[in-house]
Chain A
């Protein structure tokens, strides 16, 4: 199960890549592996505010539909529209071309509860 260094992680298997006050958000390799090949992604609206753990997006495979929870408090600055036609990008490259959206972080403190790569790897071992 690939875990990318330098990213922050949630217990619900979202990742956030923080650069200045922008956080790029996606789901982890573990999450995409569990879901299987995705058939649909519902993206958030640009400009909408999300609190921590609010339902940001929906990912759906032939096995299940799952909410993607917002890892940080922020306002949606951009979404990866390419996923609408190609949800499988999340399966192929979850930490890269499979990013879901970019958030402008509105509360830096909300980053504190996230795990680093080492901690997330530890966490995965407990599942």
Chain B
């Protein structure tokens, strides 16, 4: 496909500007003028429309196809949430308004949403209070780690270590490290749980806390979750719950009840807001009572007269972590989603997410090697069979072959504790028909991988680009075009 610049025809234009009502002519010093005019594409309106429409048709998203990208939870985002977030009264609010004199009274609705969302998330997670400010899950992690550090500093605790399982999201150790902690990795046992003996060996006075995703990145609920929290608490450490996989237990179990002190939630994963990366994210952080003073400013409070206000006078707060109030529009979408579904609906989300994942797991188990052969939560992890490996077939080849069959590939090579990992997360929003079509494609690919592996090596053949050279892209980074 040609670039706009390549389609440019000298003198062609898409608009006819009206006569200028300001003085014309060049009033810039001669030596400051560029020698040649800037290169701009010259195109008609139709050229531009066709160009971008063509590009948009090459998009792949959950609105076009099944997208079982494990760990990412590519669930469908209901369009009604978009519509609500787009209401002019919400979308056009100026973020400075509540800080202006009497502006607070003009923003009561927005403040009420933030206040109410806090209450809803408390109820869902079993925590004592939330900040909506973190702009993504990983930002929530860093906020949580800063709260952990503030707590220990305030108590006079001298602690330097944060524990994390070897199956953790890479952002966990990164967030702890940025907050100034040294990270010690705890191995997993063969059944996917944390190795409790290894944990006991690492528990000492230096331990500030543990970061844990539950269900884990293997899609498994750790059978010792309570014991892990108790062990960390025994040295005045804090238990941090990475809420990346809350969608598997929402409405069913609450991290606050397991003993977790800090949680972050990825609103896109559990509450169906658009994903980060491409759009704004939100990673609200909730804490137990003893950590409330350290939450970032500002916090929405309800006054005695029933009106809402922003509170800034919080001397122990870790301070500002984001401009204004976080990604408000995302919080609105999640708020609408929670209210639409209600308690029964949210439970149904968790039940269906787990049922769908286990349906895939049971159907694919005869054809691929399960990483851990037990009932899973919201996602399941497979690896290649011995025969596939002997044929030189990698997880990447299976992923690429799925593209030709109209599916987004599952996550591959994560978690890093599983070699040739293929991590499938169907989510609750997919029908049995879609899952069956995916299963059929996976079985066909498994047969090819065992009997005609060479047929997988050239996949995908139906895309504009087949296999980008990932190594060259990483090694010879060319950002001159930006």
Chains A and B bind each other: yes
A interface residue numbers (CB < 8 A to B)? 34, 37, 39-40, 60-64, 66, 87-88, 127
Residues of A within 8 A of B416 (CB): 64, 66
Question: A39 contacts B419, CB within 8 Å?
Answer: no
Instruction: Determine chain B's interface SS by DSSP, over half rule.
Output: helix
Name the B residues within 8 Å of A62 (CB-CB). 470-471, 473-474
- Tell me whether B474 and A40 are in contact (CB under 8 A): yes
With A34-B419, A60-B474 given, name 13 new contacts (CB 8 A).
Answer: A39-B471, A39-B474, A40-B474, A40-B475, A61-B471, A62-B470, A62-B471, A62-B473, A62-B474, A64-B413, A64-B416, A87-B475, A88-B471
Name the distance in Å between B391's Cβ and chain A's nearest Cβ.
15
Per the bound structure, the CA–CA distance linking A62 and B471 in Å amounts to: 6
Instruction: Find B413's partner among A60, A63, A87, A127 (CB 8 Å cutoff).
Output: A63
Nearest to B170 among chain A residues (CB) is A65
Asked, given contacts A34-B419, A62-B470, whether A39 binds B475 with beta carbons under 8 Å apart, the answer is yes
A37 near B471 with CB under 8 A, answer yes
Interface bits B446-478 vs A (CB < 8 Å: 1, else 0): 000000000000000000000000110111000
- Closest chain A residue, CB of each to CB of B414: A64
Whole-angstrom CA separation of A58 from B419 in the bound complex: 19
CB distance from A34 to the nearest CB of B (A): 6
A116 CB to nearest chain B CB (Å): 24
Complex alpha-carbon distance, A87 and B475, angstroms: 9
**Docked CA distance A118–B470 (Å):** 35
Contacts of A60 in B (CB 8 A): 474
Taking CB atoms and an 8 Å cut-off, the chain B residues in 401-435 that contact chain A are 413, 416, 419
Nearest Cβ on chain B to A115's Cβ, whole angstroms: 18
Task: Tell me the complex Cα distance, A56–B473, Å.
Answer: 26
A18 smallest CB distance to B (angstroms): 27
- 4 closest A-B pairs (Cβ-Cβ)? A39-B474, A62-B470, A63-B413, A37-B471
CA distance A34 to B396 in the complex (A): 12
Q: B473 — which chain A residues lie within 8 A by C-beta? A: 62
7 contacts between A and B (CB under 8 A): A34-B419, A39-B471, A40-B475, A60-B474, A62-B470, A64-B413, A66-B416
Q: Give bound CA distance, A35 to B195, whole Å.
A: 25
Which A residues are in CB contact (< 8 Å) with B419?
34, 127
Complex: A44 Cα to B471 Cα, angstroms? 23
With the chains together, A101 CA to B473 CA distance in Å?
27
User: Within the assembled complex, what's the spacing in Å between the Cα atoms of A39 and B475?
Assistant: 5
Q: How far is the CB of B397 from chain A (nearest CB, A)?
A: 12
